[in-house]
Amino acid sequence: MLIVTGATGRLGSLIVNRLLEQVPADRIGVSVRDVGKAAHLAERGVRVRAGDFTDPDSLKHSLEGAERVLVVSAAIRGGAAVSANRAAIDAAREAGARHILYTSHQAASPTSLFPPQKVHAATEEHLQRQGVPWTALRNGFYASTLERHIGAALRTGILAVPQDGPVSWTAHEDLAEAAALALTGGHALEGVTPPLAAPHALDFADVAGILSRITGRTVTRTVVEDDEWISAAVATGMPRPAAEFALTMFTAARGGEFHAAGPALEAVVGHPAKSVHEVLEAAVRSLQAGRP
Where are the extended beta strands (E) located within 140-276?
A: 158-161, 191-192, 220-223
Are 17 and 130 members of one domain? yes
Are 34 and 128 members of one domain? yes
Are 34 and 56 members of one domain? yes
- Does residue 51 contact residue 31 with C-beta atoms inside 8 Å? yes
Whether residue 206 is contained in a domain is answered as yes
Whether residue 281 is contained in a domain is answered as yes
* Amino acid 153: pLDDT: 94
Are 131 and 155 members of one domain? no
Are 6 and 63 members of one domain? yes
Burial-class residue 290 by CB neighbours within 10 Å (0-12, 13-18, 19+).
exposed
Whether residue 264 is contained in a domain is answered as no
- CA-to-CA separations, 127 to 13, 121, 264, in angstroms, rounded: 23, 10, 22
- Does residue 171 contact residue 122 with C-beta atoms inside 8 Å? no
- Does residue 89 contact residue 5 with C-beta atoms inside 8 Å? no
Are 117 and 164 members of one domain? no
Are 124 and 7 members of one domain? yes
CA distance 236 to 152: 11
Instruction: List per-residue pLDDT tens for the chain, 292 residues long.
Output: 999 999 999 999 999 999 999 999 999 999 999 999 999 999 999 999 999 998 989 999 999 999 999 999 998 777 789 999 999 999 999 999 999 999 999 999 999 999 999 999 999 999 999 999 999 999 999 999 999 999 999 999 999 999 999 999 999 999 999 999 999 987 778 999 999 999 999 999 999 999 999 999 999 999 999 999 999 999 999 999 999 999 999 999 999 999 999 999 999 999 999 999 999 999 999 888 775 5
Whether residue 118 is contained in a domain is answered as yes
Whether residue 182 is contained in a domain is answered as no
Domain region containing 242: 141-171+198-259+274-292
Are 166 and 77 members of one domain? no
Domain boundary among 139, 159, 184: 139
CA distance 142 to 252: 15
Are 111 and 23 members of one domain? yes
Whether residue 179 is contained in a domain is answered as no
Domain boundary among 139, 161, 188: 139
Are 22 and 76 members of one domain? yes
Question: How many domains would you assign to the chain?
Answer: 2
**CATH code at 147?**
3.90.25.10
**CATH code at 61?**
3.40.50.720
- Does residue 137 contact residue 101 with C-beta atoms inside 8 Å? yes
* Amino acid 291: pLDDT: 55
Whether residue 83 is contained in a domain is answered as yes
* Amino acid 76: pLDDT: 77
Are 229 and 124 members of one domain? no
* Amino acid 75: pLDDT: 81
Domain boundary among 94, 120, 139: 139
Are 130 and 157 members of one domain? no
Whether residue 242 is contained in a domain is answered as yes
Sequence-distant (≥ 6) Cβ neighbours of residue 228 within 8 angstroms: none
